[in-house]
């Protein structure tokens, strides 16, 4: 990753029209030393125009220009840029190629899942993990999203830099192509993968609009494949960089899928219909599935913590098939988004479902309780069994949270409402 992205991020967060930074302060921002030439030559600090100063375009993209530099005092002054928006759009064109993994870390989006395969095997070249590095969108409702956008698709509208697209229609078209039996299997498989990426991108836009989330944009430049050629091959990125300024979804047509993303301008209000956080199962089947996928992605880090805490073993059954193990919240996620290990249990998928449906509980003494309706089923063997404890006592599930949930379980089954 270009270390100078951290400087552009810092400048983008500042208020005011100018700022002075010492070289030492800049090194602390970068968490790395400046090159010797930066301390010896004024030219190093020139505002990039010709393409030779690939670091300078980053602070220009953030809306700043280097004003003066004093090598003796080791101080540089930056000022707000008054460049026309068309000139700024040109400055946003990426000149470096940075790894997606590094840019996601800079955007504070989890990369924990990049480190292992679905079976828990560690990845040797994490930054090149093919399960993630070719995706078009990253993140979750909890941490926000990062979207990969081709610079050439950006436009200027009413003095603002914008991106407008219909990824939902694009995904539907790709799925239709993939179902064409005339195409060879390799092309159909590639098209299906691209359809899934387009749909995930659309889902990120929809959720970001509904929740008015800021969006991180990773700008790309290179050999972009035409839409009609998708399936025949893949686009090739030559340059890639993180825009230091956040974007916002100003419009999203839930009927058509047309979206408008605007750089650096938070919408005053959202026209999106309000979402009941306690009702994640409402709406069209496709939307329900996409929403569930987005939420599960947000729980990736939570699951990794629980896998570590419980030694990759189901707390109830002892199952060690990692692909079947899920992260269960003791206090429901809709009530309180709490990703602490003490608010979770590592459960096999079917046990997790029973837990969520109120057919299985764990009391404050860490014993499994089964609903009466299941006492004649194969699950009866778990009744009264003490759950597996985490490796460290500090990671034990919160007994108060367990007790509150167990009391709800008792109330339901005593009343016979299930």
DSSP 8-state symbol, 243:
-
Q: Is residue 94 pLDDT above 80, yes or no?
A: yes
Task: Please check whether residue 131 is in contact with residue 267, taking contact to mean a CB–CB distance below 8 angstroms.
Answer: no
Side-chain-side CA neighbours of residue 4 (13 Å): 20
Asked if the model's pLDDT at residue 412 lies above 90, the reply is no
**Amino acid 240: pLDDT:** 95
- Least confident stretch, 10-14, 157-161, 313-317: 157-161
pLDDT greater than 90 at residue 402: yes
Residue 279, pLDDT above cutoff 50: no
Q: What percent of the chain has pLDDT over 90?
A: 36
Query: Which pLDDT does position 350 carry in this prediction?
Result: 92
Across the range 103-123, mean pLDDT stands at 84
Mapped onto helix, strand or coil, the DSSP state of residue 115 is helix
Mean pLDDT of the chain: 83
Local confidence band at 42 (pLDDT 50, 70, 90 cut-offs): confident
pLDDT of 137: 94
Split at pLDDT 50, 70, 90, the class of 231 is low
Task: For residues 41 and 152, give the distance between their C-alpha atoms in angstroms, rounded to a whole number.
Answer: 34
Do 257 and 212 form a contact (C-beta atoms < 8 A)? Answer: no
Strand ranges inside 49-191, DSSP E: 64-70, 75-80, 137-140, 144-150, 155-157, 160-165
CA 234 to chain centre: 23
The residue extents of the domains of the chain are: 4-80, 86-263, 286-415
Least confident piece of the model among 17-26, 224-233, 326-335, 360-369 = 224-233
pLDDT in tens, 293-341: 555 444 567 888 888 888 889 999 999 888 888 899 998 765 666 778 8
pLDDT at 235: 86
Q: Check residues 118 and 247 and name the one with the higher pLDDT.
A: 247
Q: Is the pLDDT of residue 406 over 90?
A: yes
Query: Cα–Cα distance between 315 and 313 in angstroms, integer?
Result: 6
Q: Read off the pLDDT of residues 171-194 as tens digits, 9 standing for 90 and up.
A: 888 888 877 767 677 787 888 888
- Residue 230 reports pLDDT greater than 60: yes
Phi, psi (degrees; rounded to nearest 5) at 185: -65, -35
Cβ neighbourhood burial of 339 (10 Å; 0-12, 13-18, 19+): middle
Distance CA 311, CA 388 (A): 10
pLDDT given at position 397: 93
List, for residues 385-394, the tens digit of each pLDDT value: 999 998 788 8
Angle at the Cα of 169 from the Cα atoms of 165 and 173, rounded to 5 degrees? 130
List C-alpha distances in Å: 245 to 94, 109, 230, 411. Answer: 14, 15, 30, 51
Confidence of residue 50 (pLDDT cuts 50, 70, 90): low
pLDDT, residue 276, reads 43
Residue that wins the pLDDT comparison between 246 and 90: 246
Check residue 286 and give its pLDDT: 55
Q: How far, in Å, CA of 364 to CA of 159, rounded?
A: 59
pLDDT at 323: 81
Rounded to whole angstroms, the Cα distance separating 415 from 12 reads 57
Q: Give the integer Cα–Cα distance in Å for 216 and 221.
A: 17
**C-alpha span between 382 and 360 (Å, rounded):** 10
Q: What confidence category does residue 277 fall into, taking pLDDT thresholds of 50, 70 and 90? A: very low
User: How far apart, in Å, are the Cα atoms of 408 and each of 248, 399, 415?
Assistant: 40, 14, 11
Asked whether 272 and 248 are in contact (CB, 8 A), the reply is no
Across 365-379, average pLDDT: 92
- Which position has the token pair 């995706």? 135
For residue 269, the model assigns a pLDDT of: 59
Please report where in the chains the tokens 């195409």 appear, as a residue.
183
Question: At which residue do the structure tokens 């010797």 appear?
Answer: 36
* C-alpha–C-alpha distance, residues 295 and 337, integer Å: 11
């Amino acid at each position: 990753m270009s270390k100078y992205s951290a400087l552009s991020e810092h400048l983008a967060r500042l208020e005011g029209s100018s700022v002075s930074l010492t070289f030492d302060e800049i090194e602390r921002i970068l968490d790395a030393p400046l090159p010797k030439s930066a301390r010896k030559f004024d030219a190093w600090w020139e505002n990039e125009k010709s393409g030779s100063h690939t670091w300078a375009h980053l602070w220009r993209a953030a809306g700043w220009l280097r004003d003066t530099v004093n090598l003796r005092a080791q101080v540089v002054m930056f000022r707000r840029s008054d460049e026309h928006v068309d000139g700024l759009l040109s400055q946003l064109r990426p000149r470096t190629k940075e790894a997606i993994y590094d840019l996601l870390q800079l955007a504070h989006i989890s990369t924990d899942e990049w480190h292992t395969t679905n079976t828990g095997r560690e990845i040797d070249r994490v930054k090149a993990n093919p399960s993630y590095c070719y995706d078009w969108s990253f993140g979750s409702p909890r941490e926000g999203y990062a979207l990969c956008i081709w610079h050439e698709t950006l436009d200027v509208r009413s003095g603002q830099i914008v991106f407008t697209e219909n990824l939902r229609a694009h995904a539907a078209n790709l799925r239709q192509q993939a179902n064409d039996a005339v195409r060879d299997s390799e092309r159909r498989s590639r098209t299906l993968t691209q359809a899934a990426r387009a749909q995930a991108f659309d889902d990120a836009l929809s959720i970001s609009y509904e929740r008015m989330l800021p969006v991180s944009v990773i700008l790309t430049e290179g050999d972009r494949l035409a839409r009609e050629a998708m399936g025949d091959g893949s686009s090739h990125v030559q340059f890639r960089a993180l825009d230091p300024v956040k974007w916002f979804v100003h419009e999203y047509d839930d009927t058509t899928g047309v979206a408008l993303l605007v750089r650096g301008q938070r919408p005053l209000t959202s026209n999106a219909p309000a979402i009941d956080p306690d009702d994640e199962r409402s709406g069209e089947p496709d939307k329900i599935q996409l929403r569930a996928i987005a939420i599960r992605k947000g729980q990736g880090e939570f699951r990794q913590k629980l896998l570590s805490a419980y030694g990759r073993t189901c707390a109830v059954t002892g199952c060690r098939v990692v692909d079947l193990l899920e992260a269960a919240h003791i206090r429901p996620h809709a009530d309180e988004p709490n990703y602490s290990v003490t608010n979770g249990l590592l459960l096999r998928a079917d046990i997790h479902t029973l837990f969520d449906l109120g057919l299985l509980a764990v009391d404050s003494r860490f014993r499994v309780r089964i609903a009466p309706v299941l006492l004649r089923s194969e699950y009866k063997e778990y009744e009264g069994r003490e759950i597996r404890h985490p490796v460290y006592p500090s990671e034990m599930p919160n007994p108060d949270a367990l007790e509150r949930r167990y009391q709800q379980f008792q109330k339901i089954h005593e009343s016979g409402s299930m």
